[in-house]
A and B are shown apart, each in its own frame.
Chain A
Protein backbone atom coordinates (compact mmCIF):
# COMPACT_ATOMS: atom_id res chain seq x y z
CA UNK A 1 0.00 0.00 0.00
CA UNK A 2 1.13 3.55 -0.76
CA UNK A 3 2.64 5.66 2.00
CA UNK A 4 0.87 8.79 3.20
CA UNK A 5 2.14 12.02 4.74
CA UNK A 6 0.01 14.10 7.10
CA UNK A 7 0.75 17.07 9.34
CA UNK A 8 1.32 16.00 12.92
CA UNK A 9 -1.22 18.39 14.37
CA UNK A 10 -3.73 21.09 13.47
CA UNK A 11 -6.03 23.46 15.27
CA UNK A 12 -9.47 24.57 14.18
CA UNK A 13 -12.00 26.97 15.66
CA UNK A 14 -15.33 25.51 16.62
CA UNK A 15 -17.93 26.05 13.91
CA UNK A 16 -15.36 26.57 11.20
CA UNK A 17 -14.41 24.10 8.49
CA UNK A 18 -11.51 21.81 9.28
CA UNK A 19 -9.41 20.93 6.25
CA UNK A 20 -7.03 18.04 6.81
CA UNK A 21 -4.50 17.41 4.04
CA UNK A 22 -2.88 14.15 3.06
CA UNK A 23 -0.14 13.49 0.52
CA UNK A 24 0.03 10.13 -1.22
CA UNK A 25 2.24 10.78 -4.21
CA UNK A 26 2.98 7.08 -4.86
CA UNK A 27 -0.64 6.00 -4.97
CA UNK A 28 -1.49 3.33 -7.51
CA UNK A 29 -4.44 3.39 -9.86
CA UNK A 30 -6.35 0.74 -7.91
CA UNK A 31 -5.76 2.21 -4.46
CA UNK A 32 -8.47 3.99 -2.55
CA UNK A 33 -8.04 6.84 -0.07
CA UNK A 34 -9.62 6.09 3.30
CA UNK A 35 -10.05 8.35 6.30
CA UNK A 36 -10.52 7.15 9.85
CA UNK A 37 -10.45 8.99 13.12
CA UNK A 38 -9.75 7.96 16.68
CA UNK A 39 -11.25 9.88 19.52
CA UNK A 40 -9.19 9.47 22.65
CA UNK A 41 -8.70 5.76 23.44
CA UNK A 42 -11.76 4.73 21.47
CA UNK A 43 -11.70 2.38 18.51
CA UNK A 44 -10.99 4.06 15.18
CA UNK A 45 -14.07 5.20 13.32
CA UNK A 46 -14.54 5.06 9.58
CA UNK A 47 -15.25 8.48 8.04
CA UNK A 48 -15.17 8.28 4.27
CA UNK A 49 -13.28 6.85 1.33
CA UNK A 50 -12.90 7.47 -2.39
CA UNK A 51 -11.05 6.44 -5.50
CA UNK A 52 -10.85 9.52 -7.71
CA UNK A 53 -14.11 11.38 -7.47
CA UNK A 54 -14.94 13.72 -4.65
CA UNK A 55 -17.14 12.12 -2.03
CA UNK A 56 -19.49 13.47 0.61
CA UNK A 57 -21.41 11.85 3.40
CA UNK A 58 -23.06 12.96 6.60
CA UNK A 59 -19.74 13.24 8.38
CA UNK A 60 -17.37 14.83 5.91
CA UNK A 61 -16.28 15.55 2.36
CA UNK A 62 -13.28 14.09 0.61
CA UNK A 63 -11.56 16.04 -2.12
CA UNK A 64 -9.03 14.11 -4.22
CA UNK A 65 -6.81 16.00 -6.66
CA UNK A 66 -7.02 15.11 -10.30
CA UNK A 67 -3.60 13.45 -10.26
CA UNK A 68 -4.65 11.61 -7.08
CA UNK A 69 -1.39 12.47 -5.36
CA UNK A 70 -3.09 14.29 -2.52
CA UNK A 71 -6.44 14.65 -0.84
CA UNK A 72 -8.22 16.77 1.74
CA UNK A 73 -10.74 15.71 4.32
CA UNK A 74 -13.19 18.48 5.11
CA UNK A 75 -15.27 18.64 8.27
CA UNK A 76 -17.64 21.45 7.30
CA UNK A 77 -18.58 22.70 10.77
CA UNK A 78 -16.15 21.35 13.32
CA UNK A 79 -17.37 20.77 16.85
CA UNK A 80 -15.47 20.03 20.03
CA UNK A 81 -16.44 16.38 19.59
CA UNK A 82 -14.42 16.29 16.37
CA UNK A 83 -11.20 16.59 18.38
CA UNK A 84 -9.39 13.39 17.46
CA UNK A 85 -6.50 11.86 15.55
CA UNK A 86 -7.34 11.59 11.86
CA UNK A 87 -5.72 8.91 9.76
CA UNK A 88 -5.37 8.98 6.00
CA UNK A 89 -4.83 5.49 4.61
CA UNK A 90 -4.30 4.37 1.06
CA UNK A 91 -5.06 0.79 0.23
CA UNK A 92 -6.34 -1.53 -2.41
CA UNK A 93 -9.97 -2.22 -1.72
CA UNK A 94 -10.55 -5.94 -1.58
CA UNK A 95 -12.08 -8.18 0.99
CA UNK A 96 -9.66 -8.98 3.76
CA UNK A 97 -7.09 -6.32 3.01
CA UNK A 98 -5.69 -4.88 6.23
CA UNK A 99 -5.50 -1.22 7.21
CA UNK A 100 -2.05 0.18 7.93
CA UNK A 101 -2.14 3.21 10.18
CA UNK A 102 0.49 5.93 10.15
CA UNK A 103 0.88 8.71 12.67
CA UNK A 104 -2.19 10.67 11.62
CA UNK A 105 -3.08 14.30 12.31
CA UNK A 106 -4.10 15.33 15.77
CA UNK A 107 -6.93 17.81 15.27
CA UNK A 108 -7.76 20.07 18.16
CA UNK A 109 -11.04 21.93 17.85
CA UNK A 110 -11.03 24.98 20.10
CA UNK A 111 -13.97 26.99 21.40
Chain B
Protein backbone atom coordinates (compact mmCIF):
# COMPACT_ATOMS: atom_id res chain seq x y z
CA UNK B 1 0.00 0.00 0.00
CA UNK B 2 1.60 3.22 -1.20
CA UNK B 3 -0.59 5.43 0.96
CA UNK B 4 -2.29 7.01 -2.06
CA UNK B 5 -5.80 5.64 -2.50
CA UNK B 6 -7.64 5.73 -5.78
CA UNK B 7 -11.22 4.69 -6.30
CA UNK B 8 -12.73 2.99 -8.11
CA UNK B 9 -10.12 0.53 -9.39
CA UNK B 10 -12.13 -0.27 -12.49
CA UNK B 11 -14.85 1.65 -14.27
CA UNK B 12 -16.79 0.73 -17.38
CA UNK B 13 -19.08 3.30 -18.88
CA UNK B 14 -20.67 4.27 -22.17
CA UNK B 15 -19.72 7.01 -24.57
CA UNK B 16 -21.22 10.37 -23.72
CA UNK B 17 -21.35 9.65 -20.02
CA UNK B 18 -19.62 11.42 -17.13
CA UNK B 19 -17.50 9.81 -14.43
CA UNK B 20 -15.64 10.95 -11.34
CA UNK B 21 -12.36 9.46 -10.21
CA UNK B 22 -11.27 9.97 -6.64
CA UNK B 23 -7.85 10.23 -5.06
CA UNK B 24 -6.83 10.45 -1.41
CA UNK B 25 -3.22 11.56 -1.09
CA UNK B 26 -0.67 10.20 1.32
CA UNK B 27 -1.03 11.67 4.79
CA UNK B 28 0.68 15.03 4.99
CA UNK B 29 1.07 15.50 1.24
CA UNK B 30 -0.24 18.79 -0.11
CA UNK B 31 0.16 18.22 -3.85
CA UNK B 32 -1.96 15.95 -5.99
CA UNK B 33 -1.18 15.16 -9.60
CA UNK B 34 -3.26 13.39 -12.21
CA UNK B 35 -1.78 11.38 -15.06
CA UNK B 36 -3.34 9.54 -17.97
CA UNK B 37 -1.81 6.45 -19.54
CA UNK B 38 -3.47 5.12 -22.65
CA UNK B 39 -2.72 1.63 -23.98
CA UNK B 40 0.98 1.37 -24.78
CA UNK B 41 1.40 5.10 -24.25
CA UNK B 42 3.50 6.99 -21.81
CA UNK B 43 2.30 8.77 -18.74
CA UNK B 44 0.76 12.09 -19.67
CA UNK B 45 0.49 14.76 -17.03
CA UNK B 46 -3.00 16.21 -16.79
CA UNK B 47 -3.24 18.59 -13.87
CA UNK B 48 -1.82 19.40 -10.46
CA UNK B 49 -3.33 20.84 -7.31
CA UNK B 50 -1.36 22.18 -4.40
CA UNK B 51 -3.12 22.77 -1.11
CA UNK B 52 -6.45 23.27 -2.79
CA UNK B 53 -5.38 25.43 -5.68
CA UNK B 54 -4.63 24.54 -9.26
CA UNK B 55 -0.88 24.75 -9.77
CA UNK B 56 -0.18 23.42 -13.24
CA UNK B 57 -2.02 22.13 -16.27
CA UNK B 58 -0.76 19.68 -18.82
CA UNK B 59 -2.51 17.98 -21.71
CA UNK B 60 -5.93 18.04 -20.13
CA UNK B 61 -8.97 18.20 -22.37
CA UNK B 62 -11.66 20.80 -21.79
CA UNK B 63 -14.07 17.92 -21.12
CA UNK B 64 -11.96 17.03 -18.10
CA UNK B 65 -11.79 18.95 -14.85
CA UNK B 66 -10.46 18.42 -11.38
CA UNK B 67 -10.54 19.88 -7.93
CA UNK B 68 -8.90 19.42 -4.58
CA UNK B 69 -11.02 19.67 -1.47
CA UNK B 70 -10.16 21.13 1.96
CA UNK B 71 -9.33 17.65 3.26
CA UNK B 72 -6.86 17.44 0.35
CA UNK B 73 -8.53 14.61 -1.51
CA UNK B 74 -8.98 15.24 -5.21
CA UNK B 75 -11.48 14.32 -7.86
CA UNK B 76 -11.00 14.12 -11.61
CA UNK B 77 -14.19 14.59 -13.58
CA UNK B 78 -14.38 13.27 -17.12
CA UNK B 79 -17.42 14.20 -19.19
CA UNK B 80 -18.80 13.52 -22.67
CA UNK B 81 -16.66 10.43 -22.68
CA UNK B 82 -15.24 9.09 -25.91
CA UNK B 83 -13.74 5.71 -26.75
CA UNK B 84 -10.31 7.30 -26.78
CA UNK B 85 -10.62 8.27 -23.14
CA UNK B 86 -10.19 4.63 -22.18
CA UNK B 87 -6.99 4.57 -20.17
CA UNK B 88 -5.37 4.13 -16.82
CA UNK B 89 -5.65 7.24 -14.69
CA UNK B 90 -3.08 7.64 -11.97
CA UNK B 91 -3.02 10.00 -9.08
CA UNK B 92 0.19 10.88 -7.29
CA UNK B 93 0.97 12.97 -4.27
CA UNK B 94 4.14 14.60 -3.14
CA UNK B 95 5.45 15.43 0.28
CA UNK B 96 5.17 18.84 1.87
CA UNK B 97 7.77 21.53 1.50
CA UNK B 98 10.63 19.02 1.57
CA UNK B 99 9.89 16.92 -1.49
CA UNK B 100 13.16 14.99 -1.52
CA UNK B 101 11.47 11.65 -1.09
CA UNK B 102 9.77 11.91 -4.43
CA UNK B 103 6.27 11.20 -5.50
CA UNK B 104 3.96 8.41 -4.44
CA UNK B 105 1.55 7.01 -6.98
CA UNK B 106 -1.70 5.27 -6.43
CA UNK B 107 -2.57 2.00 -8.11
CA UNK B 108 -4.73 3.73 -10.69
CA UNK B 109 -8.25 3.63 -12.04
CA UNK B 110 -8.77 1.69 -15.24
CA UNK B 111 -11.46 3.41 -17.27
CA UNK B 112 -13.07 1.58 -20.15
CA UNK B 113 -15.44 3.51 -22.40
CA UNK B 114 -17.66 1.32 -24.55
Contact = CB atoms under 8 A, between A and B. Distances in A.
Given A41-B108, A42-B108, A46-B102, A98 B33 contact: yes
Contact of A98 (B30, B45, B110): B45
Interface residues on A, range: 20 to 34
- Residue among A43, A46, A93, A101 with max Cβ neighbours from chain B (10 Å): A43
A46 B103 contact: yes
A102 B45 CA distance: 11
B92 A43 contact: yes
A96 B106 contact: no
Nearest to B58: A98
Nearest to A100: B45
Contact of B48 (A43, A44, A93, A96): A96
Interface residues of B, number: 33
A17 interface: no
B74 interface: no
B94 A44 contact: no
A30 interface: no
Nearest to A46: B102
B92 A95 contact: no
A36 B96 CA distance: 20
Nearest to B90: A43
A46 to B, nearest CB: 4
Given A42-B108, A102-B42, A96 B31 contact: yes
Interface of B: 2, 4, 30-31, 33, 35, 42-43, 45, 48, 50, 55-56, 58, 88, 90, 92, 94-108, 110
Given A44-B90, A46-B103, A97-B99, 8 more contacts: A38-B43, A43-B2, A43-B4, A43-B108, A44-B92, A93-B100, A99-B33, A101-B35
